[in-house]
Structures are given as structure tokens and as C-alpha cells.
Structure 1
Amino acid sequence: MASAKEIQSRMKSIQDTMKITSAMYMISSSKLKKAKKTLADTEPYFYSLQSAIGRVLRHMDDTEHRYFDERPEIEPQDRKIGYIVVSADKGLAGAYNHNVFRIAEECMEKNSRCQLFVLGEVGRQYFYKKGVDVDTNFRFTVQKPTMHRARVISEKMIAMYLEGQLDEVHIIYTRMVNAATMVAEKEQLLPLKKMTFATQAQLLADMHQEEIEMVPSADEVLNSIVPNYLRGMIYGCLVESYASEHNSRMMAMDAATSSAKDMLKDLSIKYNRVRQAAITQEITEVISGAKAQKKKL
């Protein structure tokens, strides 16, 4: 059995660690609240853009627009697919990073011509150690997502898609369902699917369709709206991932703090037993010494 001094030293180490996990919990809690407020403030604008695209599509003929071109002539195995992978800049967030990496690796197994655009230092280090070729255009930190970063990413992805360097663009991120559930998922950004914008049209199917004059043309209107919509989609995914990361870290740090308390409880019992045994041994030695002295007398 360990000595009382060793147990005390271990208890102090656990207490110091518990202070760190408690502080990290509080920090993540504060950042989570800010991220959720940011998302709530910006969501209405981008939902309005989605609705506007749906309205424009209702007044267009069946001609294909370049942002909706699925390029069916290209075989599935020959399609060049870009994946924006949103990870964290540091660990200690439970399975947050692992779930994102698992989806990315599954996508890589299905298509050998895929290209990864990794955000977050943990993701870059992970794929670097795996020997995966990662695009280095976006060496951004994922802390405090900004519209500027979303604009840079969207412009690059749109340019590569329109130039034919990529046939599809997907984003792999983590969506926060509620305070206890985070889901890593993959969402297609390009080409856009008309069914994504069909909800509003279906709701208004039996209503009078308004007359809209689009100048200079519906194609040009979409050329103006769609980049803003994609920018908002990417920004929303970045904020969702940021919020999910801190929510995962809160849960991980809360679990670590609870485990530390349980360990301290067990060590406290062990320490009391060791101390009691030492006291009992000292009393026994004193009594034995007294008896020995009495016999000599």
C-alpha cells in the first residue's frame, strides 16, 4: 500500500488538474453562448436568401444554371470531389474530432480523386501524419469564425467548381442538435439541388404566383445571390462546428471533473486508512515499549 505522503501528493495533483478542467468548462461555456448568439443573429438573413433563390427558380424555365449543373456525363469514379473538413485547433473535446475524421476517411475510401481542405490544426496534423495530401489554401484558425473567412473559402470553392477543377463540393462539420447531442455530418454545397429550394414553392403551389421582373435576367440574379448563399452556408457550418466543439469540451471537462472528484473520494478513504494504520502501529509500539520497560523494573 502507498504511503500517506504518496497519497497526499497524488491528491494534490488531482486537485490541480480538477482546477484546470473546471476553468476549461467555464471558458467553453462562455464561448458557446457567444457562438449561439452569433448564429441566431445571422440565420434570418441567409434563410431569406434561400427563400429568394426558391422564388427565382419558380420563375425560371427548365434551362440549367451553372450552379445547378450536376455534370451527369462524368462517371461517379471519375468525379473530382472537394471536402471542406472542419476540425478543432486543440483536443480535449471528447469524440468531436474523431467523428469528423471518420466521415472524411469514409469519403476518401469511396472516391480516390477527392481533395481535402482542412480547417483546424488538429485536422491538419491528423491527416499529415496519415500521409494524406491536404490543400493548404485555408490555414485558418477555427476559433471565432468570421464572415471574411467564409467569403475566402466560398470564393475559392466556387472558382474551382466553375473552372472544372472540382465537380462537387461538400463540407464535413458538426451540427449541434441540442445541449447533449452533436452530430458530425456531410452536406453538399455545389452543385446546388433544386429540391433544396422546393419547399417554399410547394407551400405556395395553390396560391397566386407573384409576377417578378428580373433585370437583366434570372441567370444574372442567381449569379449574384448564390455566392452570398454559399458564403452563408459555410459561415453557418463554421459557427455550428465552433459551438459543437465547445459543447463537446464542456461535456468532456464536466466528466473529467466528476471523475477527479470520485478519485479524490477514494484516495481520501485510502489516506485515512493508511493514517489510521500508522497511528495504530505507533500506539502498539508505545504500548509494547511500556510493557518492556515495566518487565525490566
Structure 2
Amino acid sequence: MASTKEIQNRIKSIKDTMKITNAMYMISSSKLKKAKKDLENTEPYFYTLQVSLARLLRHLPDMDHLYFENEDDEKKENPKRGYIVVTADKGMAGAYNHNIIKIAEEELANHPDSELYVVGQVGRHYFARKNVPVDIHFQYTAQNPSLHRARVIADKMLENYESGKIDEVYIIYTKMINSVTAEPEMIQLLPFRKMDFKISQADVYHEEIIIEPSPRAVMDRIVPNYITGFIYGALVESFCSEQNSRMMAMDSATRSAKDMLADLSIKYNRARQAAITQEITEVVGGAKALQNKK
């Protein structure tokens, strides 16, 4: 059995660790609330953009545009893909990073000739250890996602797509379902599929609209803003999921620490009781020895 001193040292060490896990839980909770509020403040604008896109496509279902998938065009046999992979900047968030990296690895295994754009230190360090080529100029942190950062990422993707460097753009991020559940998800950003905007509505009233200066010019302006909004939403949802996963991990660690403290407390009391019993036994034995000597 460990000595009372050893048990006391372990109890002190666990209590110090609990202070850290509790602090990390509170920090993640604060960041989660702020990120959710930022997303709620911007959602109406980007939802309006999506509705506007759907209206335009409803009036112009046969419009041919670079940003949209054309069913009549011949598809490339092996289109070059670009993957935006959103990870965290640090660990201790349960399986959050592992789930995202797993999807990215599966996609790279099926499509080896792909461009990889990684957000977050964990993902970049992981793929660097695996000697997987990553765009070295695409170095963004996962902390405090902003609309400006989303716009810069969107501009980079549009530039590579328009130049033909990549034929398809996907984003792999973590979608927050509720306060308990978050799931990794992969969405195709470019080219858009018209069916995703639910434009095949035969009974919907087709109001007359005037598009100035031209449908193509309007699309050239709306689509980049919509992609920016989608990327921003993905960054914020991933950040919220990360903080939520970290909160759950820290809460689990704190509960485990409490269980360990309870177990150590019992062991400490037993060790102390054994030491007291030993001392009493020695005193009694000494007293008997003195009596026998007399």
C-alpha cells in the first residue's frame, strides 16, 4: 500500500489538474457563446443571398455559367479537386480533429491528385508528419473566425477555380447539430448544382424580375458573396463544435478526477488508519515488554 505522503501528493496533483480542466471548460463556454452570437448576426444576410440565387435560377434555369454545373457538358474523367479542411489549433477536444482528418485522408486516398488547403495548426502538423503536400501559403488559424478571413479564403478558391488549377472545390468541416451532437461533413462548394437550390417548382408563381446589367454580371457578384458566407458559416460552426467538444472533454476529465479523488481519499484514510493501528500496536507491545521486564 502506498504511504500517506505519496497519496497526499497524488491528491494535490489531481486537484491542480482539476483547476486547469475547469478553467478550460469555462473559457470554451465563453468562446462558444460569442461565436454563436456572431453567426446569428450574419445568418440573415447570407440566407437572403441564397434565396436570391434560387429566384434567379428559377427564372433562368438554362443559364450557363462557370460557377454552375452544366449537365450537358462532358465531365472530366478525373477532375482535380481542392479540399478546404477545417481543423483546430490545438488538441484536447475529444475526437473533433480525428474525425475531420479521417475524412480528408479517405478523400485523398481516392483522389490523390488533389490540392489540400488546411485551416488550423493540428491539421497542418498532422499532414506535415505524413508528408502530405499542403498549400504552404494557405495558413489560417481556427481561432476567432472572421468574415474577412472567410472572404480571403473564398477569393483564393475562386481564383484557383477560375484559372483551372482545380475543377471542384470541397469543404470538410464539423457541423454542429445541437449542444451535444456535432458531425463532420463534406460539402461541394464549386461548381454549384442547380438542384441544390430547389428550383424545380412547377406550381410556384414566377414573378417578373428585371436583371441589370445582365444575369451573368449579377451571378458574378452574388456567387462570390454566397461562397464567402458559406465558408464563414463553416468556420464558425467548426469553431463552435471544437469548443463544445472541448467542454465535453474537460467535463469528462473533471468528473474522472473527482472519482479518482474519492478513491484516493478512501485509500488515504485506510493508510492513515493502518499507520495509527501500527503505532497503537507498537505502544501496547512496548508496554507489555516493560511489564514483563519488571
Output the TM-score relative to the length of structure 1.
0.96
1:238 to 235, 239, 251: 235
CA distance in 2, matches of 1:290, 1:208: 105
Which digits, 9 at most, give the CA deviation of each residue in 1:83-122, with x for residues without a partner? 0000000000000000000000010111111111000001
2:219 to 201, 218, 222: 222
Q: How far 1:175 moved relative to its partner?
A: 0.7
SS in 2 for 1:174: strand
Equivalence for 2:173: 173
2:258 to 261, 267, 278: 261
Counterpart of 1:2 in structure 2: which amino acid? A
Q: Which of 33-42 and 16-25 deviates more? A: 33-42
Q: How far 1:72 moved relative to its partner?
A: 3.4
CA distance in 1, matches of 2:198, 2:69: 17
Counterpart of 1:106 in structure 2: which amino acid? E
**Structure 1 consecutive aligned stretches of length 4 or more whose deviation exceeds 4 Å:** none
1:250 to 241, 247, 250: 247
SS in 2 for 1:83: strand
Q: Which of 30-39 and 235-244 deviates more? A: 30-39
Which digits, 9 at most, give the CA deviation of each residue in 1:167-216, with x for residues without a partner? 100000001101111101101100011011116x63xx424311111112
Q: How far 1:138 moved relative to its partner?
A: 2.2
Counterpart of 1:127 in structure 2: which amino acid? F
Counterpart of 2:203 in structure 1: which amino acid? D
Counterpart of 1:74 in structure 2: which amino acid? K
Equivalence for 1:208: 205
Runs of 5+ consecutive residues of structure 2 not aligned to the other structure = none
Q: How far 1:69 moved relative to its partner?
A: 3.5
Equivalence for 2:74: 72
Equivalence for 2:280: 283
Counterpart of 2:214 in structure 1: which amino acid? S
CA distance in 1, matches of 2:75, 2:84: 24
Counterpart of 1:233 in structure 2: which amino acid? F
CA distance in 2, matches of 1:40, 1:264: 41
CA distance in 1, matches of 2:42, 2:221: 19
Runs of 5+ consecutive residues of structure 1 not aligned to the other structure = none
Q: How far 1:8 moved relative to its partner?
A: 0.4
Q: What percentage of aligned pairs have identical amino acids?
A: 62
Equivalence for 2:100: 100
CA distance in 1, matches of 2:85, 2:138: 11
Which digits, 9 at most, give the CA deviation of each residue in 1:95-152, with x for residues without a partner? 0000000000010111111111000001100000011000122211111101111011
Counterpart of 1:224 in structure 2: which amino acid? R
Counterpart of 2:218 in structure 1: which amino acid? V
Which digits, 9 at most, give the CA deviation of each residue in 1:237-276, with x for residues without a partner? 0000000000000000000000000000000000100000
SS in 1 for 2:36: helix
Equivalence for 1:272: 269
> Is the contact between residue 59 and residue 206 of structure 2 (CA under 8 Å) also seen in structure 1?
no
CA distance in 2, matches of 1:261, 1:72: 62
Equivalence for 1:292: 289
Q: How far 1:68 moved relative to its partner?
A: 0.5
Q: How far 1:9 moved relative to its partner?
A: 0.2
CA distance in 2, matches of 1:62, 1:235: 29
CA distance in 1, matches of 2:203, 2:193: 23
Count how many residue pairs are aligned between Structure 1 and Structure 2: 292
> Is the contact between residue 100 and residue 172 of structure 2 (CA under 8 Å) also seen in structure 1?
yes
Counterpart of 1:278 in structure 2: which amino acid? A
Q: How far 1:73 moved relative to its partner?
A: 3.3
SS in 1 for 2:177: strand
